Amino acid sequence: MTPNPSEETTPAPQYDAATEAFLNSGYDLPIKQARNALFIIAAVQLVSGIIAAAQAPAETQTAIWIETGILTAIFAGLALWTRKKAYAALLTGLIVYLAYQALLGIINPLNLLSGIFFKIFIIVYLIIGINNARDRQ
């Protein structure tokens, strides 16, 4: 008995790791950009914390270092977590970023306008990454 051609299954092609990474790179690009946005937030927090601590009076430097360390660790940790759970990490990153910006806005409303283009850039990349990660789940 000859097999029916419509019933035959063709095995999926096997690719090496580099080829597989290249083939998936276009789909993961928004997630990678969002991950980079989280790393950028961490770096900006670190640099701005160092500058703020250098200019602050001695009695507030400890608080600035604690805030800087916590925020840098959170955003760097979320960026690393995107390799395992991209959707959860990016969504958490967006929520933490927006909450922190809201808190800064409550303390000083001018903070909301300071660096507005950078903030929009970060939020857009995070949202695009979240949408892509949700589709990928």
pLDDT tens, residue by residue, 88-122: 999 999 999 999 999 999 999 998 898 899 999 99
Q: What is the pTM of this model?
A: 0.75
| Mean pLDDT over the full length of the chain | 85
Three-state SS for the chain is CCCCCCCCCCCCCCCCHHHHHHHHHHHHHHHHHHHHHHHHHHHHHHHHHHHHHHHCCHHHHHHHHHHHHHHHHHHHHHHHHCCCCHHHHHHHHHHHHHHHHHHHHHHCCHHHHCCHHHHHHHHHHHHHHHHHHHHHC
